[in-house]
A and B are shown apart, each in its own frame.
Chain A
């Protein structure tokens, strides 16, 4: 089946969306939250925070019980639909994005998920979310489809001046495949095996995207603290591959990947004496700077990986 993407309709639909920042963006990933809001504002895309939201379950609750994770994510979708009266919810965090998509899938296909979600929602005293109520999108979809590259090009002031970027999407933007049917539809959409939406946006912003083979490799984020030695090895693979590909910056679109890369870059130096100098920056920070927003406005000073020197040297800030 081939679906032809109606770009004009999506542009209208994504102009005003419910925003689900999630726990990480209110904590360690504050710069991602700050830059996402700043870019949205500069592009005239409106964000309405999901009312009284809760954690989606991240990568942990499913291991205590997967149906509880489905319930947690369904409550976010229910609030967006019934309390905010919105039909699209945007999540910049890959973990949140994947969990909301997975809840959507499970509530459509699994009887047990439907029963448990109905039971807990009823006892908790809110509307039970039913599949098809809202559409979950990532911050990449939001900018790529809600604003568009042609329009974005006009907003670039200064640009990224040929900054060499390795685009890193991590695991949960494309896996498991069954919950992202739209990514297997071909032309116009994103790809399950070679995602490109971030590459597309940053190319418009004036970056030189390097050929990076580990776009969807795993950083070991689920075990970033519980199996740090494994995570350090996996992160080091990614950092070294990016440097070998000539990248000055790794662009990220997931707070778990981002902080994993930052943490284990330091840990690799301390524990394995392996030094890498590639900087780790959220794609929204890069887009914001390309549009002329200040380093402070996109929270560049809040990153553990300090890229301010590089950005100044390149004349980006």
Chain B
């Protein structure tokens, strides 16, 4: 019977005796290693297949749990709860409820690709993190993260025009994610930026915000990309057994 390690040492599962003496020996304290026998029944057998059906998750089945991903992880160094190896384990075991405990931090993967570079089985853990974050959103377990909002604002501009304008990305993202534009550090940054610049360059930057940079003859590429993305997203919806699929490209 499969067990999973973290639940054994969670406070509510610890068996504690403040004052326990057996045959004259004081054995008071935490009895976590002598946990009750139990059976896990709430598997989601489809979980691994669903993650594999999303871009980036295709190779999750290769994982042999060496832990190199978590060991090398940039975000794990800042937050020990961010644990790619453990999440890959839960997904492969079908432990959906356990995975959902961490649903609000999985999107924080910064795509530094240290895991993907060190992984001896070419699992591409970075891709698995992205697939898992998407899965959580598609299934309605989480709202679109700031990362997803940023990806969509950015990609919308690329697909529409062929190029982005970074001032517009910043402005649109802050609006879409409900943040004020005039934050102290952003104001200070802009002040420092324009301090040394000649007027001509400032005019160039102003021009770019009014007339969005565009790639020549882009419209046919735009239409072909939109058509392909719509097909892919419909196929993903089907793989996850969802009736209503919120198209990320919308």
Using CB atoms and an 8 Å cutoff, list the residues of chain A in contact with chain B.
23-24, 26-28, 30, 52-55, 57-68, 71-72, 75, 116, 119-120, 123-125, 171-172, 174-178, 192, 217-218, 220-223, 225-227, 230-231, 233-234, 262-263, 266-267, 270-271, 300-306, 308
Contacts A23-B164, A24-B166 hold; do A302 and B248 have CB atoms under 8 A apart?
no
Q: A63-B130, A120-B224 are in contact. List 12 more A-B contacts (CB 8 A).
A: A26-B163, A52-B217, A54-B218, A59-B111, A120-B221, A174-B117, A176-B113, A222-B112, A225-B146, A231-B110, A270-B185, A271-B185
Asked if A226 and B173 make an inter-chain contact with CB atoms under 8 angstroms apart, the answer reads: yes
Asked if B221 and A124 make an inter-chain contact with CB atoms under 8 angstroms apart, the answer reads: yes
Asked if A119 and B228 make an inter-chain contact with CB atoms under 8 angstroms apart, the answer reads: yes
Asked if A64 and B249 make an inter-chain contact with CB atoms under 8 angstroms apart, the answer reads: yes
Q: Which residues of B contact A66 (CB under 8 A)?
A: 55-56
Chain B stretch 176-228: residues in CB contact (< 8 A) with chain A: 177, 184-185, 188-189, 192-193, 195-198, 201, 205, 208, 213, 215-218, 220-221, 223-225, 227-228
A101 to B6, CA, bound (A): 40
Q: How many residues of B contact A (CB 8 A)?
A: 69
A163 to B248, CA, bound (A): 48
Q: How far is the CB of B81 from chain A (nearest CB, A)?
A: 13
Asked if B151 and A64 make an inter-chain contact with CB atoms under 8 angstroms apart, the answer reads: yes
Tell which of B147, B185, B196, B217 touches A223, judged by Cβ atoms closer than 8 Å. Answer: B147
Tell which of B155, B167, B195, B198 touches A60, judged by Cβ atoms closer than 8 Å. Answer: B155
Chain B stretch 119-169: residues in CB contact (< 8 A) with chain A: 122, 124, 126, 130, 134, 145-152, 154-155, 158-159, 162-167
Q: Which residues of A contact B122 (CB under 8 A)?
A: 178
Asked if B196 and A308 make an inter-chain contact with CB atoms under 8 angstroms apart, the answer reads: yes
B150, B152, B195, B208: most-surrounded residue (chain A CB, <10 A): B150
Q: Which residues of B contact A65 (CB under 8 A)?
A: 55, 228-229, 232
Q: How far is the CB of B115 from chain A (nearest CB, A)?
A: 9
A136 to B122, CA, bound (A): 24
Q: How far is the CB of A106 from chain B (nearest CB, A)?
A: 12
Tell which of A67, A230, A301 touches B110, judged by Cβ atoms closer than 8 Å. Answer: A230
Contacts A65-B232, A301-B197 hold; do A26 and B154 have CB atoms under 8 A apart?
no
Closest-by-CB residue of B relative to A28 is B166
Closest-by-CB residue of A relative to B195 is A306
Q: Which residues of B contact A227 (CB under 8 A)?
A: 108, 110, 146-147
Asked if A123 and B213 make an inter-chain contact with CB atoms under 8 angstroms apart, the answer reads: no
Contacts A63-B148, A175-B117 hold; do A223 and B229 have CB atoms under 8 A apart?
no
Asked if A306 and B196 make an inter-chain contact with CB atoms under 8 angstroms apart, the answer reads: yes
Chain A, interface SS category: helix
Asked if A55 and B112 make an inter-chain contact with CB atoms under 8 angstroms apart, the answer reads: no
Q: Which residues of A contact B152 (CB under 8 A)?
A: 64
Chain B, interface SS category: helix
A63 to B220, CA, bound (A): 22
Q: Is B70 an interface residue (CB 8 A)?
A: no
Asked if A222 and B110 make an inter-chain contact with CB atoms under 8 angstroms apart, the answer reads: yes
Contacts A52-B216, A66-B55 hold; do A61 and B155 have CB atoms under 8 A apart?
yes
A81 to B215, CA, bound (A): 17
Leading 5 A-B pairs by shortest Cβ distance: A301-B196, A218-B112, A123-B224, A226-B146, A124-B221
Contacts A23-B163, A61-B155 hold; do A218 and B114 have CB atoms under 8 A apart?
yes
Closest-by-CB residue of B relative to A116 is B228
Asked if A27 and B167 make an inter-chain contact with CB atoms under 8 angstroms apart, the answer reads: yes
Q: Is B75 an interface residue (CB 8 A)?
A: yes
Q: Which residues of A contact B117 (CB under 8 A)?
A: 174-177, 192
Q: How far is the CB of B168 from chain A (nearest CB, A)?
A: 9
Q: Which residues of B contact A222 (CB under 8 A)?
A: 110-112, 147
Closest-by-CB residue of B relative to A271 is B185
Chain B stretch 76-115: residues in CB contact (< 8 A) with chain A: 78, 108, 110-114
